[in-house]
């Protein structure tokens, strides 16, 4: 059993202090894009498809940034400006019924970058057609490159086609 005392003097036990990295015990670093905004036509209602609405995207990608930092070389990491543009293209692209599907497509984009090992994607739909007061609807998914399933591979072609069709 390991224990550690934080700067407030609080001791924690059963903590693996050998590899804290991303908080997942994998030693990976994180790059976070928070609050990306794009207009999309996602939803099951005809009005959502016709009128569209704003979606807000938060993405955390998990990767080893040490090679890029050591060489000060952008090609050894993920250009987050380009990633942001690709994600916005997906939101603005082909509509889907479920924001769960949209989140999967966005995760596929993140995982298409060689250094990225895991992606966490949150899709916010603050204007969802809900008849009672609410602040936001959020679907959050986490996907690992090592455990990509058949459904994920099937959506990759649609993501690539949406990005290509947007002129990116």
**Active-site annotation holds for 76:** no
Sheet holding 29-40, edge to edge: 29-40, 53-63, 118-124, 138-144
Q: Which of 47, 40, 81 is nearest to 166 (CA)?
A: 40
Count of beta carbons in the 10 Å neighbourhood of residue 153: 10
Residue tagged active-site, from 124, 125, 143, 145: 125
Question: Considering Cα of 122, then 127, then 130, then 132, what sign does the dihedral take?
Answer: positive
Q: Which residues are tagged catalytic?
A: 125
């Amino acid at each position: 059993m390991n224990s550690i005392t934080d700067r407030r003097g609080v001791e924690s036990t059963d903590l693996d202090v050998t590899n804290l990295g991303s908080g997942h015990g994998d030693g990976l670093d994180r790059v976070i894009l928070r609050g990306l905004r794009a207009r999309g036509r996602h939803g099951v209602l005809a009005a959502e498809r016709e009128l569209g609405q704003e979606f807000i995207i938060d993405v955390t990608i998990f990767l080893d940034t040490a090679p890029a930092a050591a060489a000060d070389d952008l090609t050894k990491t993920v250009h987050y400006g380009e990633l942001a543009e690709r994600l916005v293209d997906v939101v603005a692209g082909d509509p889907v019924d479920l924001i769960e599907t949209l989140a999967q497509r966005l995760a596929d984009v993140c995982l298409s970058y060689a250094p990225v090992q895991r992606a966490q994607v949150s899709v916010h739909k603050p204007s969802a057609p809900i008849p009672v007061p609410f602040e936001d609807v959020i679907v959050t998914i986490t996907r690992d490159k090592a455990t990509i399933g058949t459904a994920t591979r099937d959506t990759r072609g649609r993501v690539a086609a949406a990005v290509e069709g947007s002129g990116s």
